[in-house]
């Protein structure tokens, strides 16, 4: 049994997707508690969700044909022409 959720694209365990889901659920719970008057603000959970969205969706991106990724350094060295 794995603790992490599987990424739908790669079908591998994803820490960033797991953090995104946990922060989203915490934001929903905080919103409900805010509506009932138990807590005064939900801003910390909202900001955490924004950070996790940025973490998950910016894992691989490219500028001008150069891609940046979270691959291990050994894999990157194999791709670099020296």
pLDDT tens digits, one per residue of 10-58: 888 888 889 999 999 999 999 999 999 999 988 999 999 999 999 888 8
On the question of pLDDT at 8 being above 70, the answer is yes
More confident residue, 71 or 78: 78
pLDDT grade, residue 60 (50/70/90)? low
DSSP assignment string, 25-70 = HHHHHHHHHHHHTS-S--HHHHHHHHHHHHHHHTSSEEETTEEE--
State how far the Cα of 54 lies from the Cα of 51, in Å rounded to an integer. Answer: 5
Q: pTM above the 0.85 mark?
A: no
């Amino acid at each position: 049994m794995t603790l992490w959720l599987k990424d739908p694209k790669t079908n591998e365990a994803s820490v960033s997707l797991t953090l995104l889901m946990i922060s989203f659920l915490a934001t929903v719970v905080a919103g409900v508690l805010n509506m009932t008057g138990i807590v005064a603000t939900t801003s910390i959970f909202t900001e955490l969700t924004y950070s996790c969205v940025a973490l998950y969706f910016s894992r691989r991106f490219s500028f001008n044909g150069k891609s940046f990724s979270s691959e291990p350094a050994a894999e990157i060295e194999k791709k670099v022409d020296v």
